[in-house]
Amino acid sequence: MTNVLKAKQTTLMDRVVVSGVGVHSGKPVEMVLHPADANTGITFVRVDKEKGTEVEFAGNYSSVLDTRLCTIIGHPEKGMIATIEHLMAALVGYGVDNVMVEVDADEVPVMDGSSRAYIDAIDQVGLKEQNAPRRYIRVLKPVRVQNNDSVGELLPHEGTRFDVTIDFECDAIGVQTFDHEMSPEIFKQEVSLARTFGFMSDVEKLWAAGYALGSSLENSVVIDAEQKIVNPDGLRYDDEFVRHKTLDAVGDLALAGAPLLAHYRSFKGGHKLNFNMLEALFADDSNWEWVEADAPIRSATRSGVTHSTPAIQAVMGPETN
C-alpha cells in the first residue's frame, strides 16, 4: 500500500466565499464553500435568491447532465450548475473529501480559467482532518473507452497517475503529453495554474450563440487565425494546453465520488471521454472495489449492487433532490 491510503478524510476549517463571473453567462456569481461532515463527500446546492429556493445535487457522475462545452450537473427540471470541473479538480486534487458548495447562479465562477483561485480559497481557511479514514475506489482491471479518435483507459495502479496526450493541428499546440503521479503538491505546482484555452474563431461562434459571454483574455488562453497566442503575457507553462486538459481530467474523474486508485491514460480526450470512462468503470462491479485505509472493502459489502451510484451514495451520502 502507498502512504496516501493511510490518510484521514478532510474538510475545510471554515466557510470561504469565492466571487467572480460565469464564463458563459458573463454574470456575477457568488460561491460559498462550507465545511461538511465526514462521509458526506462533495455536494452542490443551487441557491436561487429571487425564488427563495435551494436544490442539492450530489457531486458524482450520476448527476451529470451535459459534457459538450463543460461539465454540467443537476436535474433536468430542478436546475443545474455548470463548469464545475475546475473546482472539482481543486477539491480532489488538493485532498478535500467533504465540502458543501453553495452557488447562486447556474455556473461556478470561472475566475482566471484555472484552479488556482479555488486552491487559494482553500489555503485561506485551511483544512482539518476528520475522525474517519479516507475512502478510495481502486480500479481492479483495465477499462477502455474509444470515441472516434479519442481513447481513454483506466488501469490498475497503487496510486493516482494521469497520463494525458493531446494532438492539435495547430503550431501553437501540436502534440503534448503530461504524465505524472498526482498529489496535492504536484497538482498545486504543476497543474492548478493551467488555464482553459480556445481558438478565436470558436469563441466568436460561441459569442454569437449566446455562450462564453464571460470569456476573455483574463480567463482563457486564446489562439488567433494565424495560430499565435493572443494573450500579451503568453503561457504559464510551455505545455499549458495539456496541463489544462489534465486539470479537466482530474476534475471530471473526481465525479467518481471518491479518489481513484488508478492510472488514467487519455489521447485527444475531453469532458465527454472522461465522463464515459466513469460510466464504463461502474458498468461492471468487477472493475473496482472500495479501499479504506489499509483494508479493502470486499465485494460482499456491496452485494446485490449492479450499478455504482447506490454504492457511492451509501458512502458519500444520498442524493436529496
Q: Give CA–CA dist 7/117, Å, rounded.
A: 25
Strand stretches in the chain, DSSP E: 8-12, 16-21, 28-35, 42-48, 53-58, 64-66, 72-75, 79-81, 99-103, 127-133, 135-139, 143-147, 150-156, 160-167, 175-181, 197-199, 221-223, 260-267, 288-292, 295-297
284 is in an annotated binding site: no
| DSSP H or E segment with residue 84 | none
- Helix, strand or coil for residue 68? coil
Please answer whether residues 207 and 186 qualify as being in contact, where contact means their C-beta atoms are separated by less than 8 angstroms: no
248 is in an annotated binding site: yes
- Helix, strand or coil for residue 114? coil
Choose among 193, 205, 221: nearest CA to 116.
193
Marked catalytic residue, from 24, 180, 263, 271: 271
Q: State the cell numbers at 273.
A: 471521454
Q: State the cell numbers at 86.
A: 475546475
Choose among 284, 281, 274, 282: nearest CA to 147.
274
263 is in an annotated binding site: no
Is 271 among the catalytic positions?
A: yes
Give the Cα-Cα-Cα angle 68, 80, 50 (nearest 5 degrees).
140
Q: Which residues pair with 160 in a beta bridge?
A: 262
- The catalytic residues are 271
Binding site listing for Zn(2+): 86, 244, 248
